[in-house]
Amino acid sequence: MVRLIMGDKGSGKTKKLIELINSAAAQEAGNVVCIEAEKVMTFDLHYHVRLIVAGDYEVGSYEAMRGFISGLYAGNYDISHIFIDNLFKIVGGKSDHEAEMFLDWLEKFSTAHGVRFTVSASVDPEHATDGMQKYL
């Protein structure tokens, strides 16, 4: 399952994401991971959440992000949910076909491995491609 949360900067996406992450950490049996662009949520997340700052690992493209997620899962099969905060800031992308293809890859990964994904992006939902709309 892939869920996409979109909204302009300042629309409350991060606050909503923090609530979802902490809820998942309290309710899910598996490990919860949060990938963020910069160190912002350190003190807001439950201590069981594995917080990863993507900037520390030079994850600057969709291809690098696919490899990074695959590596995370290969190292820990107990991951049940991965949250990605501000996807476009991490990969330097925008709401386009490449983002749509990445979300489709996440959906395939989710189905194959049983990992849920929640992704936020700082862009108005009206700018989502038709393929991205199904994840909103």
Q: For position 98, what pLDDT does the model report?
A: 94
The per-residue pLDDT for range 32-48, each reduced to its tens digit, is: 999 999 998 989 999 99
All structural domains of the chain with their residue ranges: 2-133
For 2-133, which CATH class?
Answer: alpha beta
**Rounded distance between C-alpha atoms, residue 53 and residue 67, angstroms:** 15
Residue 109: CB atoms within 10 Å: 18
Q: What is the pLDDT of residues 49-100, one digit of tens each?
A: 999 999 999 999 999 999 999 999 999 999 999 999 999 999 998 888 999 9
